Structure 1
Amino acid sequence: MSLLITIFLLVLFTEIVGWIGKPLLLGIVSAIYARTINAGATRRLQDLKKSILEDQKQLAQTSSQDEFAKWARLKRKVDKGLSDLEKLNSEQNVKQTALSLKSNVVLWVLTSGLQLAITWWYRREAVFYLPRGWFTPIEWWLALPFAPKGSVSCGAWQMVCRRSIKLFGRVFGDLVQLSS
């Protein structure tokens, strides 16, 4: 695949991630993680919550003066369930924080990191050459930082792609609003 198309697709992917939003993507990743990889812990947490609620309901219906032994047993059971729930919640929060951090790193690498790497790796190569004399006043600027004179560098091409995609997105959004 040519450098021109690679950079365009990478910028398009980055803009799509921006349109969707990182919080929504992280929420989707978190939900998938909870339903697949961490399904057992999530199910245990839900079962424990359900059990605690049932025990609390029984405790509320039991008189502490008339049925002290039953009340004390239920109270200990509820307290133990609450401490287990707190422990499971803290473990889940640690896993969720780690997953969020890893997801943020992966998103950064797939968007900004790849763009920086491609720009640095191909900094001396031309994405494409311009016709001679058409863009004389800005030829040096389009070749920044190290591409040959009369060509378009990776950085300039990324900027052009990003601006074009954003403009197209705004125009498309406006057309959708007008049609509805």
Structure 2
Amino acid sequence: MYLPITIFLLVFITEFILFLGYSYVTSTVHGLYVRLTKDPKVAKQRKLKYELLRMKGELSQTSSQDEFAKWAKMRRKLDKGVADLEKLNSEIAFSKTAFELKVKSVLWVIVHGSQVIMVMWYRKAAVFYLPPGWFGPAQRLLSLPFAPRGSVSVAVWFAVCRRMIKALALTANDFVVSSEKKIPKHESVSS
């Protein structure tokens, strides 16, 4: 009885990933990756941002008319820091895009490839057998493509699980939306 539960869990995980969206999952995974690996570029970016904010504060306190030489030197240093930050930001954005592309590819394989592999691997296996005569001629349809007659095939079970999970998600979403509409807002009593 492990096959139907395995298929249900696989469909649940893949539908959850699809519900969240590839972009959200990849950006979350990238954030975790950066925190766990303590990326030196990100640390340098934070340090540079802090330094630039400090320099901006000093520059705003320096009079451009009274202390022009000091102000000009600070301004050039600030401009160089901003250029360095922009270059570092573009490097980080490029590496983030490359990382997210790899994660999206892995997610695609997990979502679609795992199901195709399961269907191909267990194409002749019965997920479970139906009571004889309950579904009449539909029994043959439920066992398509290669499962024994009178059983439910892996492909059909994937479709049933996906349909049930999507229906439950829509019902839960409708329930949350309708309960939010019914919550009365507190009005102040005017005297």
- In which range does the TM-score fall when normalised by the shorter chain? 0.7 to 0.9
TM-score of the pair, normalised by structure 2? 0.79
Matching of residue 76 in structure 1 with residue 80 in structure 2: no
Counterpart of 2:118, as a letter, is I
Corresponding residue of 2:118 = 118
Matches within 5 A, 1:12-31: 12-31=12-31
Distance 2:54 2:14 in 1: 48
Matches within 5 A, 1:150-169: 150-169=150-169
Distance 1:171 1:57 in 2: 53
SS in 1 for 2:41: helix
Corresponding residue of 2:188 = none
SS in 2 for 1:152: strand
Q: Could you give the per-residue CA deviations for residues 39-94 of structure 1, whole angstroms, max 9, x where no partner exists?
A: 54323212211212332343445455654432332233122212211221111101
Q: Cα offset for 1:174?
A: 4.2
Corresponding residue of 2:54 = 54
Distance 2:134 2:82 in 1: 74
Q: Cα offset for 1:142?
A: 1.5
SS in 2 for 1:127: strand
SS in 2 for 1:124: coil
Distance 2:111 2:21 in 1: 13
| Count of matched residue pairs | 180
Corresponding residue of 1:148 = 148
Structure 1 stretch displaced more, 100-109 or 63-72: 63-72
Summarize the Cα distance change of 1:174–1:56 in structure 2 as closer, same or farther, 3 Å threshold: closer
| Structure 1 unpaired stretches of 5+ | none
Distance 1:38 1:94 in 2: 17
Q: Could you give the per-residue CA deviations for residues 83-135 of structure 1, whole angstroms, max 9, x where no partner exists?
A: 21122111110121122112212222222221111011112222222222222
SS in 2 for 1:136: coil
TM-score of the pair, normalised by structure 1? 0.83
* RMSD (Å), alpha carbons: 2.5
Distance 2:81 2:95 in 1: 21
Corresponding residue of 2:137 = 137
Distance 1:115 1:29 in 2: 22
SS in 2 for 1:81: helix
Structure 1 stretch displaced more, 142-151 or 15-24: 15-24
Summarize the Cα distance change of 1:96–1:38 in structure 2 as closer, same or farther, 3 Å threshold: farther
Counterpart of 1:153, as a letter, is S
